[in-house]
Amino acid sequence: MKKNKPDKKYNGYTSCPLVTSYNTVILAEFDYSFQPLETFPLDQSKERRTMYYMKADLMPHLYWHGLLKGLWGGPGPYRTIMHLGMK
């Protein structure tokens, strides 16, 4: 680290894919204060097969090849794009 200051800061974002059946998931996303911090512009409180595929196929890849290597900083920029800048 050579006495350098970190260039990134953790904002408390957490993603919990809750498996509700063999092929559906509810994706719970929230921050430090347990306020919803949803990435997708749809009702994430409903069971969805697409969220299951994201949990099973995309999230492991993001974790092993993005997060651990420092290449994935979280879905913040994607959240802004998908919500057209609105919260």
- What CA–CA distance (Å, rounded) separates 59 from 18? 13
Task: Let me know if residue 3 belongs to a domain.
Answer: no
Task: Let me know if residue 9 belongs to a domain.
Answer: no
Task: Let me know if residue 40 belongs to a domain.
Answer: yes
**How far from 83 is each of 40, 60, 80, CA to CA, in Å?**
7, 24, 5
Label residue 57 by pLDDT band (50, 70, 90): very high
Residue 56 belongs to domain spanning: 14-82
* Total domains in the fold of the chain: 1
Task: Let me know if residue 78 belongs to a domain.
Answer: yes
Task: Let me know if residue 49 belongs to a domain.
Answer: yes
Task: Let me know if residue 27 belongs to a domain.
Answer: yes
pLDDT tens-place string over residues 66-87: 988 888 888 888 888 888 766 5
Task: Let me know if residue 4 belongs to a domain.
Answer: no
Task: Let me know if residue 58 belongs to a domain.
Answer: yes
Predicted confidence at residue 87, as pLDDT, reads 58
pLDDT tens-place string over residues 19-35: 999 999 999 999 989 89
**pTM (predicted TM-score):** 0.77
pLDDT at 1 over 80: no
Predicted confidence at residue 46, as pLDDT, reads 95
